[in-house]
Amino acid sequence: MEEACIIDCMKLKLNRNLALHEAGDIVEVEAVDGVPVNSYWRKRLNDAQFDNCVEIIEEKKVVRKKIAKDEKSEVLNDSQ
């Protein structure tokens, strides 16, 4: 059984060195209603209001198909 799964993604441009990333890197993070799922990136976007450490360059929705592998597990398929 196949079912569509819509995931919001944000592309962030880093203006400073953060975590394992360097200034100028572009990072893609999963989001829900324009808010990153990961608490680290939520905090960095909040900080960006004051120090401009991160900027949003793109927001998009990605559609993935869920393919039931068996009754106990599911697999997300990116190929369409």
Question: In this model, does residue 4 exceed pLDDT 60?
Answer: yes
Q: Which residue has the tokens 């990072």?
A: 27
DSSP 49: H
The Cα-based distances of 49 to 45, 66, 77 in angstroms read 7, 37, 36
Compute the distance between CA of residue 34 and CA of residue 78 in angstroms, rounded to an integer.
21
DSSP 22: -
- 10 versus 60: the higher-pLDDT residue is 10
Question: Which tens digits make up the pLDDT trace of 31-73?
Answer: 888 889 999 999 999 999 999 999 999 887 776 666 666 555 5
The pLDDT of residue 59 is: 81
What's the 3-state SS for 36-49? ECCHHHHHHHHHHH
